[in-house]
Amino acid sequence: MQPITRLLCTSVLAVMSPLAWASDANAQARHQWHEGIANGYEALSSETADLNMAALKYCNAPGPDSRKLLEAAWLDAFLAWQRVRFVDFGPVENNNLSWQFQFWPDPKNLIARKAFYLIGNDEPITPQLIGQSGVAVQGFPMMEYLLFDQQLNAGDHALPAARTCELLTNVARHAKSNSDELMAGWQAFRPHYLETDQYRDTTIRAGMATLEILEERRLAQPMGLRGNGKRNPYITDAWRSGNTLMTVEATVDGLRQFFLPGLAVLLEAKGESGLAERIRKQFGEVQQNFPGADLPMATALNEEDQFRVLQSLYVDISQLATLVNDQAAVALGVVRGFNSSDGD
């Protein structure tokens, strides 16, 4: 009986071990994802705090140096958001927080219209007013408009005009408050995230959707590869400040830092170490071949030598999207789902 019992136990373990291994890998992946995203949210909270202070300092003592520091603080905070922008579930869904951070796309130029209305009337600009004014007012694109819009900066309402400063400082305060809320919410979300198996697929789909948006909406469309075939820099992120490509780079970097480690754990547990390594290598290719970070999208679209560089970047990201959205998703049994954060 003893040899038979030993054989049965061995057989059960042989069947159970792959399941246990997969369960351990799923738990490890979610742990890595949660920790990585927590780090990203902490960085966002820190950068928006710096931005809030920079806005107050500039408006209290305007000058070339404080203006330069303010613009740099805005960019640092916006890039911190880009690195965690792929997360489209959990606390960031509460009160449309993702849209409050970044209202995009904006085909009707609602941001400019809202700014014109708020600056042009006599109603006090308060935190309460910002909270009631809608997502087009509340985030990084509104601050970018106030800092970088050429028409605004050529007129009487250019910073540091009093009403414009009131709008800027209150929006910066609102972004800081939302960042703190998001960071705390993600930490409170930890037990539910770690204990709920469905967040494995939810997190993977978030990364897949982000790569699809990068490829199709943030590159192909402005490059004229989709739609009417015309190049158009004005449908991109951060076109007013000329930082479109920096935002793309930051999103790729966020995926590499916060999404890839957990994905690799799952692939390796499935016996797909080679695919995991190809994805790591492709992330490296995207970042290594990235065009100059300070190159405005309009320049990249209008100058043929720079456009060829942009085409290479598009090919790199398309290949990365294929590896993740097709090959890795199939290997892990993840079905692509509807994405609600792509501006539709």
1 within some domain:
no
Q: Which of 203, 258, 265 is nearest to 23 (CA)?
A: 265
- Residue 217 is given by DSSP the state I
- Same domain, yes or no: 48 and 158: yes
Q: What is the pLDDT of residue 227?
A: 86
Q: Which of 115, 126, 135 is nearest to 240 (CA)?
A: 115
- Same domain, yes or no: 214 and 174: no
The residue count for the chain = 344
Q: What is the pLDDT of residue 261?
A: 98
- Same domain, yes or no: 292 and 344: yes
297 within some domain:
yes
Q: What is the pLDDT of residue 338?
A: 57
Q: Which position has the token pair 């009160």? A: 95
- Same domain, yes or no: 187 and 250: no
Q: What is the pLDDT of residue 13?
A: 41
Q: What is the pLDDT of residue 336?
A: 80
- Same domain, yes or no: 162 and 284: no
Number of domains in the chain: 2
- Same domain, yes or no: 100 and 186: yes
Q: What is the pLDDT of residue 16?
A: 41
- Same domain, yes or no: 72 and 214: no
Measured distance CA(52)–CA(81) in Å, rounded: 15
317 within some domain:
yes
Domain extent for 227: 197-344
Q: What is the pLDDT of residue 1?
A: 44
- The reported pTM is 0.92
Q: What is the pLDDT of residue 291?
A: 75
Helices (H), the chain: 2-60, 64-84, 97-101, 110-120, 127-132, 140-148, 150-153, 162-195, 198-215, 244-254, 260-269, 273-288, 297-302, 304-321, 329-332
Domain boundary among 196, 211, 235: 196
Measured distance CA(28)–CA(16) in Å, rounded: 18
- Same domain, yes or no: 143 and 238: no
- Same domain, yes or no: 156 and 215: no
Domain boundary among 196, 228, 258: 196
Given a cut of 70, the residues of the chain with pLDDT beneath it are 1-22, 293, 337-344
CATH number of the domain bearing residue 232 = 1.20.1420.20
Domain boundary among 196, 226, 243: 196
pLDDT tens for residues 200-259? 999 999 999 999 999 999 999 999 999 889 999 999 999 999 999 999 999 999 999 999
Q: What is the pLDDT of residue 6?
A: 46
- Same domain, yes or no: 171 and 217: no
Residue 335 region by backbone torsions, left for phi larger than 0, else alpha for psi between -120 and 50, else beta: beta
